[in-house]
Structure 1
């Protein structure tokens, strides 16, 4: 996961002096920005421009028409160097550091102690968007999108919450009861009333909610994390990740997806991979039951979709037997992600009217798998976890009568940054397991519909074929 070079934080400035040094548009812009706070704004300008004068007057800021000197920094919580003269801004920044005052230098991120973000103001709610000085215009574009998402009166709801904090602290025990109360308040009738302007009605509804018996029941969500790309996670999955007290996740679930949960949620890795099962399935089910019966909200994160080779059936049975309520949140399964990456139809009118999800493990013996008959009848087959048994899959199907020229696609790390797409025919599939350059999870697609694939980029299944293509 990428790491930030700056730690985002909110600096308290209410009633405190904030110094702005400059005369032109940059100083005026910083004055307007600080005008959205309750800071005591002091502007130092030798020759203030008309724009700056108008903003100072409108915002009731203090203006000192004189050249900057280090004494201006006395008592300042923050300082802004906005003279638009590099040498002068450097001098101001050096003086600020000597005085121990954090300084921001306009358009000079390398000289800044802090970066001013683009701000969405729904006071007391604020959303800050920053790029660590790398792309401020991008931050403004993101701000515009967030402005459109958030109701203009959302601050009313935040203000109501602020007024209720003391009452909540007296009436509800610390911890889970309070967290669940706030979650209900911000996503229910209380929020609806506050946003409509009925603050008194919202407060009354919140007080009634506090008087109710606290909801201490546990719940488990079996969540499909998709094939790996965070933007393929469903909106419901994102929501329940924010509600979870505990996140139980598999090794194939990317760290970026796990990180979308609450920061204070407990994380339990059950690290299942082919051939290396760190936690037995029975123990995973026991963890879900234990945490659910303890009254905790649990997200069980599985790669792809939990109902397709995700052993969700065993976990659902364990939860049902223990009386723990649960819900399944579907995800994008690897077969769909692989087909999308290969730009290959899984069904095609007149050619393939059925689709089979299969695991390659049952093709490891001499017995023809049950799904092979459907492949012979024209179905497209998606073989999960099939790289190590690719040769066996190909041999069984060819022996059963499927043409050796049947199109095949293999997708490694589908929908992830290091994804690779391979194309060939059934006779070349056996070469996949022997390729040392393929070591990630692979999904294999087999069927005549794949002849219609139009991948943006692909390798040949056979390294020999690839060399021939490159030479050509």
Structure 2
């Protein structure tokens, strides 16, 4: 370890910055966020720094550097274009045991600025020791993505109650367990959602209780397949989950984003295979939540678009379990985009209709006269098995036989397969497709050849 990470309290401490250009400005802004007293030495100052001077945010104390200005200073930043001056400042600070940072010259630094993720009072600092700044930026983006913007509010509220909790729960191990359970509960989500009163209510209730906190259930939409299409909020939830109940259709790339020590249970349904019933899935969700677990129900696409999310939430609500829903990019939208098919277009389609290809117990209940209107794009989920019957119905109610049709399997993944045909030719191509597949019917499909950008493998008929 070449550098020891430290967090310095700079509030009301005098800092000297020699130089007043763009680089110096960036450091000054950081120092001001730490509530330091910033003194500047520079012959000329940039317009940004001049604004800070006029607003009395910083002090412009001199135009020329002198050793006397190092007296009663906490740390120094050298940010001039004069290498000899920077070297002189560095040596002078070392003799006085002052922390000094020479911008863009690691050899003349007794400390360096890390890359900072600020969720005050939670602050994460990362450094590569100046060896790989681009890699460091990449890592920072990763960390930024999994830390909710308001997570600092959780720490603030916990800090206010820390003394009270310590008095109520004297034993250190019991107190640690209390905080661990609390931070895994809906308490955190209430704060993130701005429900401070509800969060405090949960905290008060559990200070005087030895019961394990009731868990919660979160429905998360995983998107259509590509892990890059998982929402930021979805990623954050997967990193917090204790148990994840997921479908068969969830890609391995998305599953790899789940917290490593979280338990994974596959509860997906597949046509032709004996699988767990919907009632059993709901019972399992509620059972796990009542054990104090943070349970994630991970569904392909969006939970509320043919994902039976509404049924699950109704049962969870009835059972009195805390819940939330994280929407996802529904397959109809994501897959169409990756196939280069705009679902609406001023010249081709005035709207889009989503339906499912599965039969209900009483047969198809769709309004076929509306579905056969050529001014609408029709997107059919799970439509492969009923594709022939659907095409006959549409033609019977007025859709042209020549209406373009796209059949897409494993959309948004590198195994994506697209076949373009027409409504009256579906029977000739549907047998070559695996399930589940998505059907897109409408004139916008004709744009696929022109706008396709993602596919590795393309089949046209």
- The answer, yes or no, to whether TM exceeds 0.5 is yes
Where do residues 192-211 of structure 1 align in structure 2 (5 Å cutoff)?
none
The answer on whether the counterparts of 2:218 and 2:324 sit within 8 Å (CA) in structure 1 is yes
Q: Using a 3 Å threshold, how does the CA distance of structure 1 residues 449 and 212 change in structure 2: closer, same or farther? A: farther
Q: Which residue of 2 aligns with 1:202?
A: none
Per the TM alignment, residue 267 of structure 1 is displaced from its structure 2 partner at its CA by 1.9
What corresponds to 2:438 in structure 1?
A: 443
Contact (CA 8 Å) 1:380, 1:446: kept in 2 or not?
A: yes
Superposition deviation, residue 311 in structure 1:
1.3
Structure 2 counterparts to residues 421-440 of structure 1, below 5 A: 421-435=418-432, 438-439=433-434
Q: Which string of whole-angstrom CA distances, capped at 9 and with x for unpartnered residues, describes residues 333-365 of structure 1?
A: 100011111222222336433322112223999
**What are the Cα deviations for residues 403-442 of structure 1, in whole angstroms up to 9, with x where unaligned?**
111111222211122222322221232233222xx43531
Whether the 8 Å CA contact 2:384–2:435 is kept in 1: the answer is no
Provide the secondary structure at the position in 1 that maps to 2:408.
Answer: strand
Q: Give SS of 1:450's match.
A: helix
Confirm or deny: 8 A CA contact 1:423 1:460 kept in the other structure: no
Q: Please, which of 264, 269, 276 is the counterpart of residue 267 of structure 1?
A: 264
Counterparts of 2:318 and 2:188, CA distance in 1: 31
Post-superposition Cα deviations, 1:79-110, rounded to whole Å, max 9, x if no partner, equal xxxxxxxxxxxxxxxxxxxxxxxxxxxxxxxx
1:24-63 → structure 2 map (5 Å cutoff): 34-36=2-4
**Partner Cα separation in structure 2 for residue 324 and residue 37 of structure 1:** 42
Distance 1:243 1:172, change over 3 A: farther
CA contact (8 A) 1:389 1:433 kept: no
- Contact 1:363–1:392, Cα closer than 8 Å, also in 2: no
- Report the TM-score, using the length of structure 2 for normalisation: 0.59
CA deviation string 1:415-470 (max 9, x = no partner): 122222322221232233222xx4353111001233344212667766xx4xxxxx
1:401: how far off? 2.8
Aligned partner of 2:243 in structure 1 is 246
How far did 1:169 drift?
Answer: 9.1
Aligned to 2:179: 178
SS in 2 for 1:414: coil
Task: Pick from 355, 371, 387 the counterpart of residue 375 of structure 1.
Answer: 371
2: distance between equivalents of 1:187 and 1:128?
A: 29
- For 1:445 and 1:188, the matched residues in 2 are separated by 38
> Does the 8 A contact of 2:417 with 2:459 survive in 1?
no
| Structure 2 CA distance for partners of 1:129 and 1:412, relative to 1, 3 Å | farther
Distance in 1, matches of 2:335 and 2:434, equals 16
Determine if the alignment matches structure 1 residue 282 to structure 2 residue 279: yes
Which of these residues, 116, 139, 142, is aligned with residue 138 of structure 2? Answer: 142
Taking the aligned partners of 2:438 and 2:142, their CA distance within structure 1 comes to 37
Distance 1:324 1:147 in 2: 30
Unaligned runs of 5+ in 1: 1-32, 39-50, 60-118, 192-206, 466-472
Structure 2: how far apart are the matches of 1:456 and 1:364?
A: 40
Q: What is the distance in 1 between the residues matched to 2:281 and 2:254? A: 20
Q: Kindly tell me: are residues 125 and 335 of structure 1, through their superposed partners in 2, closer, same or farther at Cα, counting changes over 3 Å? A: closer
Q: Is the 8 A contact 1:341 1:421 kept in 2?
A: no
Whole-Å separation in 2 of the counterparts to 1:310 and 1:231: 20
Cα 1:456–1:145 change in 2 (3 A) is: closer
| Match of residue 342 from structure 1 | 339
Deviates more, 1:335-344 or 1:318-327: 318-327
Matched, 1:392 2:389: yes
- Aligned equivalents of 1:409, 1:129: Cα separation in 2: 49
Aligned-pair CA distance for 1:302: 0.6
Query: In 1, Cα distance between the equivalents of 2:128 and 2:296?
Result: 28
Q: CA separation of 1:175/1:386 partners in 2, compared to 1, >3 Å: closer, same or farther?
A: farther
Match 2:398 to one of 397, 401, 409: 401
* Cα distance, 1:126 vs structure 2: 5.8
Deviation at 1:282, TM superposition (A): 0.9
Question: Which secondary structure does the structure 2 equivalent of 1:361 belong to?
Answer: coil
| 3-state SS in 1 of match to 2:354 | strand
**Alignment check: 8 A CA contact 2:243 2:265 kept:** yes
Aligned mates of 1:223, 1:144 — CA distance in 2: 24
The residue aligned with 2:214 is 217
CA contact (8 A) 1:405 1:427 kept: yes
Looking at structure 1, the residues matched to 333 and 453 of structure 2 have their Cα atoms a distance apart, in angstroms, of 16
Is the contact made by 2:206 and 2:213 (CA closer than 8 Å) also made in structure 1? Answer: no
Q: Cα distance 1:211–1:281, how it changes in 2: closer, same or farther (>3 A)?
A: closer
Structure 1-normalised TM-score? Answer: 0.58
1:249-279: CA deviations, max 9, x gaps?
Answer: 1111123323323323222221322332421
Shift of 1:124: 10
| C-alpha displacement of 1:399 | 3.1
1:311 correspondence with 2:279 = no
